[in-house]
Structure 1
Amino acid sequence: MLKSQPAPSGRSLYFDGEWHHPSSGRYNPTFNPGLDEAIGDVAEANGADVDAAVAAAREAFRVWRDVAPLERGRLLKEVAAVVRANARELAALDAANCGNPVREMIGDAAIAAAQLDFFAGLVTEMKGDTIPMGPDALNLTVRQPLGVVARILAFNHPFMFCAGKIAAPLAAGNAVIVKPPEQAPLSSLRLAELVHGILPKGVFSVLPGGREAGAALAGHPGIDKVAIIGSVGAGRAVMRAASDTIKPVLLELGGKNALIAFPDADPERVAQAIVAGMNFTWCGQSCGSTSRAFVHRAIYEDVLARLPAKASHYVPGLPTDEATTMGAIISRTQYERVLGYIASAREEGARLVTGGGTPDGPALKKGFYIEPTIFADVEPGMRIAREEIFGPVLAIAPWDDEAAMVSQVNGVEYGLTCSIWTNDLLKAHRTAMAVEAGFVWINEVSKHFLGAPFGGWKQSGLGREECLGELLAFTQEKNVHVSLKQGRA
């Protein structure tokens, strides 16, 4: 258990290499969802603050773009070293501010550091091409940074998103303005403190705030690209705002992801995968969670019988306790929303396999805790089968006909991930090609692989991350034609 409440000393706006009070003078409380207690006030940026931060970032970009790529990579590796050295403190901040278990948040810091190192090592891969033109001309392409990039982050992995998602645009030579999640901004502010002085001033900025700040960034003429991790609704709003200045967007949005189990799959492994894929550790608050499972009827009841024991590993507890295996929901609003989905599943006739309630322990009575919850016999028309809950609620359905099952898998507006379980190579590849998802596991679930492109189809997003493509997406291509003819044209 943490002995004291961690907190950054900076609670204002960080841009131009300095801390600034918000122009409105407004500071809002940020909360610990595990205790439903305020843990201090944080500045709220508005449009005027965005204007000032963008102006400073544009000046910084003119310096940063001319830093040699290998030197940019060296500085990013220095940031990664700072992240590793302070991983426990940063994990503690996220545990207290977003409700995820502190033990898991240490892993988030490690992932962020790995992403910084990964993109630092790719700086020499921003290569162009030469196009044959014959002996009298040279035609080539070069890649140059965009300018100033805004990254709007989600609350489920605040620090990992902040430190990891600045890596590609910075490596490419852009300045970056981060808007941390309104619900959990503390770890992003602490990162600004920790890396102060490593990067040229103004290259990295942190503007805490709400919708006004996000909208101002997305629509600002001085922002050259905006990337968001968030809901489909938030992604649509960013696209609308970005359209006025025809700026590109990168969207990592929601998911209603499927796990598919064929009759030849081992029921024990399938049951373990169903529970692991739901990401109960952070209360199912993950866009990549496989929150729907389609299990062939031949192994259906066998799999269901194993799930309560598998789910029992995830016990809601204080996020700041290193023994905790499942944390808290981010806010009262989301907590009540998730409980509403559980109630609707009962009303619509789904069979409760395990969970469905809230823990009774006195230490948890003030926080936003929900048991890992699994429903079986879920019909396609039920709300828990169609809508992204972003909570610890899993829907399972039996299937007999493969074509009908694939149609149900694809019958939602999302298309982020899918997990397929079978020992038949033909079935595995056939199904992987048939599902409408951007990231598919076969006999695996939940894992990301640095270097492999992650992103969604349909309304789950646009663009790919965690790969070379992400780095290139923060550059623009220029063609240069050189005439080699001598004498007069």
Structure 2
Amino acid sequence: MPQIPPSNAAPRIAELMRELLGFPHVASLVAGEAMAGDGAAIQLHDPATGEKTESYADAGPAVIAAAHEAAARAQAEWWGKTASERGRILWNVARLVREKAPLLAELEALSAGRLIRDIAGEAVRIAEMFEYYAGWADKLHGEVIPVPTSHLNYTRPEPYGTVVQITPWNAPLFTCGWQVAPAICAGNAVVIKPSELSPHSTLVVARLVELAGAPKGLVNVIAGAGPTAGQGAIEHPGTRLVVFVGSALAGARIAGAAARNLVPCILELGGKSANIIFDDADIHRAIPGAQAAIFGGAGQSCVAGSRILVHRAIHERFVDLYGRATATIPVGAPMDRAALMGPINNLRQYEKIQGMVRTALEQGGRLVTGGAKPAHLADSDGYFYAPTVIDGIRPGMEIATEEVFGPVVGVTAFDSEEEAVALANATPYGLAGAVWTQDVGRAHRVAARVRAGTFWINSYKTINVMSPFGGFGKSGYGRSSGREALAAYSVTKSVWVETSQTPTMTFSYSPE
């Protein structure tokens, strides 16, 4: 595979932004208009080359205030529409996303460093999210409760109002659709702050929501950094719900900031998911499955199967076959359709991965393959890291308990089902996990006992908008897809209507 040549990402990103958004540079999008920030400069880089691409000013208090004001106006108008009208507009968003899917995919690949072969299908999945919630828009209703009085008591699901969403750099397009679609389906307006490193595709989705017929300002985008723009958006008095997708450390801080204003949160945080492989597993399916679990997206996924727990009877054979297969995974630039793994999104994360691998080896791990930049990219300034397998991982090691968020997997041998479950649960996270076995009873026992919000049997990383997604412990709380997301984005109002002509009254009144 050839060296990565100097990039033309910057001019192409600007061209795509102009075509999809109406302006060629990063800025906040408030009530349908570009709004420049007045804070410190934020510099963006091409992950494949390390080259500077664009800089923009961090959003300040004026942008945040304007976004909240626009959201409040738009939400009132949006909730005033009939449920069927809202559903038709959501369906129009999906139609526009499908029309623009190739351009959206290219923009995401160039701006976020994600493989075009992965993003091409993902853009269509964003459309499916809006289609799914378009179908729900006119089916959200309350219940009549048979209270033991003369009252008619019924419930109404109602929107919170303005929802602040903060999304990460690893999958900005996906997490934007994943959160925005259920939020507006439930009747809310959105102020979304994507990662300052990858705001491009979120800006485009917000524009498409407007073009589909939604009120201007229903989805506003704040372009800025988390400690400044994100914190300001959370603390604004107009915020009624906070949704955060990112690290556990940042999630704890955000939940604390929201709690000071008594604002609820939905937190979708990190993971340290276990991929359990028993000695009766189909090893020829488990190996590529375990590769996809961790090396898809260069390991930059909250549900990545970053721990392989393999039965000792097949441990040596598995590690040998898995290591040799992993060493052949092609690594390349985002627009290279032959590549199966692209670059790390940013230099800071790249250096974190390097540090955690060094620590794992110092603590006794054995490097099977990888552990450095791929040989054919050794002279590149891009943030490439070879798919890495480390054997001999023991409980208590940093890499056994903390999220790497990169293409690094640790392997641990186990002797029994009981031990496998204990190892799987020996982290503070609880987002995902999997088991590979041909024993049906064992598969369901393990699925029931491993503490994880999503669990796969003889597969990994299948996610769909129809199914609820979220975690336990340091992986967060709340659910951000399926019908459960609509409950998370709604509040329930209880309405009491007296129906008796002669109700029982404690106090009396005699008219003169």
Q: Structure 1 length as normaliser, TM-score?
A: 0.95
Equivalences for residues 75-86 of structure 1 within 5 A: 75-86=89-100
Aligned match for 1:342, one of 357, 364, 375: 357
Residue equivalent to 1:433: 448
Query: What SS does the corresponding residue of 1:370 show, helix, strand or coil?
Result: coil
Aligned match for 1:160, one of 174, 184, 190: 174
Cα separation, partners in 2 of 1:401 and 1:481, compared to 1, 3 Å: same
Residue equivalent to 1:264: 280
- CA offsets 1:382-430 (integer angstroms, 9 cap, x no match): 2211110001100011110332332221111101001011111221121
Distance 1:236 1:48 in 2: 26
Distance 2:435 2:261 in 1: 41
Query: What SS does the corresponding residue of 2:331 show, helix, strand or coil?
Result: coil
Q: Is the contact between residue 150 and residue 226 of structure 1 (CA under 8 Å) also seen in structure 2? A: yes
Aligned match for 1:189, one of 198, 203, 208: 203
1:477, distance to aligned residue in structure 2 (A): 0.5
User: Aligned letter for 2:136?
Assistant: L
Distance 2:115 2:140 in 1: 38
Cα separation, partners in 2 of 1:25 and 1:220, compared to 1, 3 Å: closer
Q: Is the contact between residue 87 and residue 138 of structure 2 (CA under 8 Å) also seen in structure 1? A: no
- CA offsets 1:28-61 (integer angstroms, 9 cap, x no match): 2222111111222234212332122111211111
1:313, distance to aligned residue in structure 2 (A): 5.1
User: Aligned letter for 2:109?
Assistant: A
Aligned match for 1:215, one of 200, 206, 231: 231
User: Aligned letter for 1:433?
Assistant: A
Query: What SS does the corresponding residue of 2:59 show, helix, strand or coil?
Result: coil
1:76, distance to aligned residue in structure 2 (A): 1.1
Distance 2:278 2:230 in 1: 44
1:124, distance to aligned residue in structure 2 (A): 2.6
Residue equivalent to 1:251: 267
User: Aligned letter for 1:272?
Assistant: P
Query: What SS does the corresponding residue of 1:380 show, helix, strand or coil?
Result: coil
Query: What SS does the corresponding residue of 1:367 show, helix, strand or coil?
Result: coil
- CA offsets 1:314-372 (integer angstroms, 9 cap, x no match): 32211122332211111111111101112122222212222112123369601000100
Query: What SS does the corresponding residue of 1:478 show, helix, strand or coil?
Result: strand
Distance 1:324 1:262 in 2: 30
Residue equivalent to 2:163: 149
Q: Is the contact between residue 327 and residue 370 of structure 2 (CA under 8 Å) also seen in structure 1? A: no
Distance 1:363 1:111 in 2: 35
Cα separation, partners in 2 of 1:135 and 1:227, compared to 1, 3 Å: closer
Residue equivalent to 2:191: 177
Residue equivalent to 1:323: 338
Cα separation, partners in 2 of 1:344 and 1:253, compared to 1, 3 Å: same
Q: Is the contact between residue 84 and residue 113 of structure 1 (CA under 8 Å) also seen in structure 2? A: yes
Distance 1:41 1:209 in 2: 11
Q: Is the contact between residue 410 and residue 436 of structure 1 (CA under 8 Å) also seen in structure 2? A: yes
Distance 2:377 2:450 in 1: 45
Q: Is the contact between residue 365 and residue 390 of structure 2 (CA under 8 Å) also seen in structure 1? A: yes
Equivalences for residues 219-368 of structure 1 within 5 A: 219-278=235-294, 280-312=295-327, 314-361=329-376, 365-368=380-383
Worse overlay, 84-93 or 287-296: 84-93
- CA offsets 1:60-91 (integer angstroms, 9 cap, x no match): 11111111111111111111111111112111
Distance 1:482 1:333 in 2: 59
Distance 1:408 1:192 in 2: 42
Q: Is the contact between residue 39 and residue 59 of structure 2 (CA under 8 Å) also seen in structure 1? A: no
1:125, distance to aligned residue in structure 2 (A): 3.0
- CA offsets 1:101-131 (integer angstroms, 9 cap, x no match): 1111112211111111111111133221111
Residue equivalent to 1:6: 13
Aligned match for 1:391, one of 394, 399, 406: 406
Percent identical residues: 37
Distance 2:147 2:420 in 1: 53
1:195, distance to aligned residue in structure 2 (A): 4.2
User: Aligned letter for 1:283?
Assistant: A
User: Aligned letter for 1:351?
Assistant: R
Distance 1:313 1:250 in 2: 39
Distance 1:28 1:377 in 2: 41
Distance 1:45 1:415 in 2: 34
User: Aligned letter for 1:296?
Assistant: H
Unaligned runs of 5+ in 1: none
Cα separation, partners in 2 of 1:153 and 1:135, compared to 1, 3 Å: closer
Distance 1:74 1:309 in 2: 51
Distance 1:364 1:191 in 2: 36
| 1:35 counterpart = 2:49 | yes
Query: What SS does the corresponding residue of 1:86 show, helix, strand or coil?
Result: helix
- CA offsets 1:104-163 (integer angstroms, 9 cap, x no match): 111221111111111111113322111114684311111111100111001111111113
Distance 2:378 2:123 in 1: 27
Cα separation, partners in 2 of 1:66 and 1:334, compared to 1, 3 Å: same
User: Aligned letter for 1:207?
Assistant: I
1:486, distance to aligned residue in structure 2 (A): 2.2
Distance 1:255 1:477 in 2: 31
User: Aligned letter for 1:104?
Assistant: D
Aligned match for 1:125, one of 139, 152, 155: 139
Distance 1:258 1:362 in 2: 30
Cα separation, partners in 2 of 1:142 and 1:466, compared to 1, 3 Å: same
Residue equivalent to 2:111: 97
